[in-house]
Structure 1
Amino acid sequence: MSLRSIRTRAAAMVVTMVAAVLVPLAAQAPAQAAPNAAAGPTAWTPEIYPLFSGESVLRNVPSNGRDELLSACASSNGIACVSVGQGDGKHSIFHLYKCDTRSLSNFIDALAVVNHQTGGAQVHFWGPSYEVYIPADNTRHTVPDYQTYDFDRLDLC
């Protein structure tokens, strides 16, 4: 057998082995629809963990409802209200009161906070590059998206 023939057979064997591995893997992969720009923006679910007993989150709040709920928060002593965008034009609004450190996920845009805690307690957001302190002044504070995206922790107090 010639050297050329051996190389040809070896190459054919390698192609066959690769196909034997890849074809079954491709069959197992779930089908994924192509992105559809007409279907609207992609949404995500912002999370604060943990939420303690008595704390709550409202989901899918439209922008005008967000402003009304943050104004209502300003009338409730002892809580901080954190509103963050969901990527679909709606917001999640968290009512928090327990002094503790929490983890954040999917905090990407449209962060607004009303801090009506007592005793001068601050709301502190931070991440690898940015940190923001929201004073207990009972007014609405907004945070730029580039900072919001960086935040992975929140501390009340």
Structure 2
Amino acid sequence: MTMIAAVLVPLAAQAPAQAAPNVAAGTAAWTPQIYPLFSGEWVKRDVSGAQRDSELIWCSLASGVACVAVGQGDGKHSIFHLYKCDERSLSNFIDALSARNNQTGGAQVRFWGPSTGVYTAYADGNIYNFPDHATYGFDRLDIC
């Protein structure tokens, strides 16, 4: 037993020191996800609130693309570049949801969940901002 303790103590002493998280010092963050992301689709993380709308427009410039921006809980946003017509599942969609739809043929971006109705972003070049109380209830997305 003494031999084992002598081996474990030096290994533990080599571990880097980590401060306990100070929740009072800042907002807790989360990582929004859309599943699946298909080949050629992507997500850009940590976009500032000031840059969100311009990044959303830039993301959706190509014809046939829909882009979704959602808050990360730390004042920053994740922006998803989507084009494949399919239903997706959402996780950690809690606040600051916006979408810009540049799809063709009248395709819509629709969000819904078990406790919400359907919210839609039409292919008209506008940025649609969705209320936080609805966003929190969304667990599905369809772009078609």
Is the TM value for this pair above 0.5?
Answer: yes
Root mean square deviation, CA, Å:
1.5
Partner residue in 1 for 2:64: 78
Match of 1:48 among 15, 29, 34: 34
More strand by share: 2
- Structure 2: gaps of 5 or more residues: 1-19
1:105-116 matched pairs, under 5 angstroms = 105-116=91-102
* Aligned-partner SS, 1:94: strand
Answering whether residue 107 of structure 2 is matched by residue 124 of structure 1, we say no
Shift of 1:75: 2.6
Alignment TM-score, normalising by the size of structure 2: 0.82
Per-residue CA deviations over 1:115-143 (Å, capped at 9, x if unaligned) read 00011100010101212111111110000
Per-residue CA deviations over 1:72-102 (Å, capped at 9, x if unaligned) read 2343211000000000000000000000000
In 2: Cα distance, 1:55 partner to 1:36 partner: 34
In 2: Cα distance, 1:34 partner to 1:59 partner: 22
Per-residue CA deviations over 1:18-48 (Å, capped at 9, x if unaligned) read xxxxxxxxxxxxxxx475312x100000000
Answering whether residue 125 of structure 2 is matched by residue 138 of structure 1, we say yes
Looking at CA atoms only, which structure, 1 or 2, has the larger radius of gyration? 1
- Structure 1: gaps of 5 or more residues: 1-32
Could you tell me which amino acid in structure 1 is paired with residue 86 of structure 2?
D
* 8 Å contact from structure 1 (residues 58, 93) kept in 2: yes
More helix by share: 1
Could you tell me which amino acid in structure 2 is paired with residue 137 of structure 1?
D
Partner residue in 2 for 1:99: 85
Shift of 1:67: 1.5
Partner residue in 1 for 2:137: 150
Q: Percent identity?
A: 64
